[in-house]
């Protein structure tokens, strides 16, 4: 389930296409502008490996990575910080934003730099519930829909 509010950072040109066409285009997973997302995944067996053929396993996992990067489609969005989402009132949200403005999904300097033309682009606030509904309407019969968050750490 997509959170109530999500934010999509993009270029001015892409924002204009989104607004005039009223469509979000899904991108290829392997072409995202995020070095962590485009790395190949290492899949390790989680079962008894006594008779496991590592050469065959490696070929299978290479094929899995090829499918992920070439066939999967992705829409990248960000959200408000959980502390902001948990606020009970608008006053509480205001106080949290005043204490740390970077908890808002539309106030992420690194996102502005990397995805929105180095602070010259656009951050679009989207209704997550409507987006979730539209994605299901458009894709559920032809695709498997997978929604997850990516957690980043300083390590």
Same-domain pairing of 84 and 135: yes
The bridge status of strand 5-10 relative to strand 27-28 is: unpaired
pTM of the entire predicted model:
0.78
Same-domain pairing of 93 and 108: yes
Q: What is the pLDDT of residue 152?
A: 67
For the chain, count helices (H), then strands (E): 6, 4
Residue 33: domain span: 27-74
Same-domain pairing of 85 and 96: yes
Same-domain pairing of 87 and 151: yes
3-state helix, strand, coil in the chain (%, to 5): 45, 10, 45
Q: Which residues contact 117 (CB under 8 A, 6 or more apart)?
A: 11, 12
Q: What is the pLDDT of residue 95?
A: 94
How many structural domains does the chain have? 2
Q: What is the sign, positive or negative, of the torsion defined by CA atoms of 125, 129, 132, 136?
A: negative
Task: Return the CA Rg of the chain.
Answer: 19
Same-domain pairing of 145 and 82: yes
Per-10-residue mean pLDDT, the chain, length 155: 90 95 86 70 68 82 86 88 90 93 92 92 95 86 78 65
The two structure tokens encoding residue 107: 């106030």
Question: Rounded to whole angstroms, how far apart are CA atoms 131 and 8?
Answer: 12
Same-domain pairing of 97 and 152: yes
Q: What is the pLDDT of residue 41?
A: 66
């Amino acid at each position: 389930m997509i959170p109530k509010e999500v934010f999509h950072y993009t270029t001015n040109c892409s924002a204009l296409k989104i607004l005039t066409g009223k469509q979000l285009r899904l991108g290829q997973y392997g072409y995202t502008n995020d070095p962590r997302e485009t790395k190949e995944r290492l899949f390790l067996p989680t079962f008894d490996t006594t008779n496991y053929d590592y050469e065959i396993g490696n070929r299978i996992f290479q094929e899995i990575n090829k499918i992920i990067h070439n066939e999967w489609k992705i829409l990248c969005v960000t959200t408000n910080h959980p502390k902001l989402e948990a606020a009970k009132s608008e006053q509480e949200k205001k106080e949290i934003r005043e204490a740390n403005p970077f908890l808002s999904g539309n106030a992420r300097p690194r996102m502005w730099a990397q995805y929105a033309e180095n602070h010259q682009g656009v951050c679009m606030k989207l209704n997550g519930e409507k987006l979730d509904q539209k994605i299901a309407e458009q894709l559920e019969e032809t695709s498997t829909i997978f929604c997850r968050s990516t957690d980043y750490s300083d390590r």
